[in-house]
Amino acid sequence: METKRSFLFVTWEGGGNVPPVLGLADRLVKRGHHVHVLAEPCLKAAVIATGAEFSAFKKHFTRIDGSIDIIQDSQAKPLTIPAVENILVRPALDVAKETLAALGRTKVDVVVADFMMIGSLIAAEAMGVKRVALFHMPEYLPGPGRPPGGMGLLPSSSGLGALRDKLLTKIFNRVINQYLPELNTVREAFSLPLYSSLPDIYHQADLRLIQTSKAFDAPITPAPANVRYVGPVLDDPVWSNSEYELWPNNDKRPLVVVSLSSTFQNQLSVLKKIINAVAGMPLRCLVTLGPAMSMETFESPENVILLPAIPHNSIFPEADAVVTHAGHGTVMRALSHGLPLVCMPMGRDQIDNAALVAHHGAGLKLRSNAKFSQISKAIQRVLDDPSFRKCAQTLQKEILVDAKADLGVNQLERLAVM
């Protein structure tokens, strides 16, 4: 593209959101555009590595250590959503003010905001700057033919299914709109019209980019006018270490990779249970601990190796299956290598991702509190039954086509010159 434009990205360290957000920034830089990223201090090195300019938040999102838990899922009260409350709502006014300050320092054509950085979308709207909400996961909002996200439900064409979706959408809106007064206070501070529903901020954005493959998702049909499916970014986190030593080359036992959340989700007991479940099985098991678990102590049997981190794209070509919490990034990278999965979701968007994996026949879904025997049986089943790998390879083709097309960059470039 000959016309070079300026983009302001606003994001935070939420684990799986970082590679897709910064991956998009990196691709814009490589196309010659000016990119500035407003983010937490712990992301400075990752941002600089893309070639983008970096500014740090001064309030709320000020972590030097990104593994410190600020979502606090384990402390959730009934009918509350900790991620919405602690990341999206409470810091919204300060995020808006800091976005406004960043917009005042340089000319910006488009603000690209992680969908949790709702304050930055408000600031962009107040300044008359084009704004994009970036969803680094499948569709979450309810709409025609689709139930709300977060419950692991799939669309149903039956009359009973339509009734279910209508009821659940009402409940979803009631829960999510408990935060509306606080967000409308932010809008009042910027002299903007009030919202009637929290999802309005996404529906009114210039674009809502969904960073997954439409073939994997269960989309709203027809999709809202501003929605674009742009495929996943398959980049590994910059903190993953490519130097590792595994089993000898002559060890031909199947390789199962275990990769749970890089952020804290109280996953210690789940990791220990998986390790105990694979002990004695005729396979090799590589467990990647991630920043949140790298300081914990584990006992590992002969067939298990534990590493703080390893790039998925370097180890997945050697793997036969993946056991995961079903974070979207891990699921997409596994499927991009045609690998079947055993999903043990622990919350957030993971429940929906796991349901979609099972729906497509590319793996199995277990509860995070599944018994040892259930875990070992599920792993053995996805290894022994070729249908799981076949279904994963069907999705692999679609995912690789989408990822290669750079649809997100193309959409942002078009918007910038409109």
DSSP 159-223: HHHHHHHHHHHHHHHHHHGGGHHHHHHHHHHTT-PPPSSTTHHHHTSSEEEE-S-TTTS---SSP
Q: What is the pLDDT of residue 120?
A: 98
Residue 117 covered by a domain: yes
Residues 209 and 114 placed together within one structural domain of the fold: yes
Residues 205 and 327 placed together within one structural domain of the fold: no
Residue 319 covered by a domain: yes
Q: For residue 308, give Cα distances in angstroms to 48, 179, 247, 293, 383.
A: 23, 37, 17, 8, 25
Q: What is the pLDDT of residue 240?
A: 67
Sheet holding 304-307, edge to edge: 304-307, 284-288, 255-259, 321-324, 341-343, 363-365
Residues 306 and 186 placed together within one structural domain of the fold: no
Contact 195, 177 (CB under 8 A): no
Residues 40 and 150 placed together within one structural domain of the fold: yes
Q: What is the pLDDT of residue 186?
A: 97
If one counts the domains in the chain, the total is: 2
Residue 412 covered by a domain: no
* Residues ≥6 apart with Cβ < 8 Å to 398: 213, 215, 216
Token pair for residue 235? 């980049």
pLDDT tens series, the chain, 418 aa? 467 999 999 999 998 899 999 999 999 999 999 999 999 999 999 999 999 999 999 999 999 988 787 877 666 566 568 888 899 999 999 999 999 999 999 899 999 999 999 999 999 999 999 999 999 999 999 988 889 998 899 888 898 988 999 999 999 999 999 999 999 999 999 999 999 999 999 999 999 999 999 999 999 989 999 999 999 999 887 766 666 778 888 999 999 999 987 777 777 888 899 999 999 899 999 998 887 777 778 888 999 999 888 889 889 999 999 999 999 999 999 999 999 999 999 888 899 999 999 999 999 999 989 999 999 999 999 999 999 999 999 999 999 999 999 999 999 999 999 8
DSSP 249-296: TT--S-EEEEE--SS-SS-HHHHHHHHHHHTTSSSEEEEE-HHHHTTS
Residue 16 covered by a domain: yes
Q: What is the pLDDT of residue 299?
A: 85
Q: What is the pLDDT of residue 349?
A: 87
Residues 141 and 259 placed together within one structural domain of the fold: no
Residue 369 covered by a domain: yes
Q: What is the pLDDT of residue 77?
A: 65
Q: What is the pLDDT of residue 76?
A: 59
Percent of the chain with pLDDT over 90: 75
Radius of gyration of the chain (CA): 21
Closest C-alpha among 387, 330, 386 to residue 361: 387
Residue 236 covered by a domain: no
Q: Does the CA dihedral 4-413-17-172 come out positive or negative?
A: positive
Q: What's the whole-model pTM score? A: 0.92
Residue-range definition of the domain harbouring residue 99:
6-229
Residue 12 covered by a domain: yes
Q: What is the pLDDT of residue 155?
A: 87
Residues 72 and 154 placed together within one structural domain of the fold: yes
> How buried is residue 71: exposed, middle or buried, by Cβ count under 10 Å (0-12/13-18/19+)?
buried
> How buried is residue 216: exposed, middle or buried, by Cβ count under 10 Å (0-12/13-18/19+)?
buried
Q: For residue 55, give Cα distances in angstroms to 40, 92, 235.
A: 8, 17, 22
CATH value at residue 64: 3.40.50.2000
Tell the residue number behind the tokens 């000959």, with chain if given: 2
Angstrom distance (rounded) from CA 181 to CA 30: 41
First to last CA, the chain: 14
* Residues ≥6 apart with Cβ < 8 Å to 325: 259, 260, 261, 265, 267, 270, 343, 344, 345, 346, 350, 368
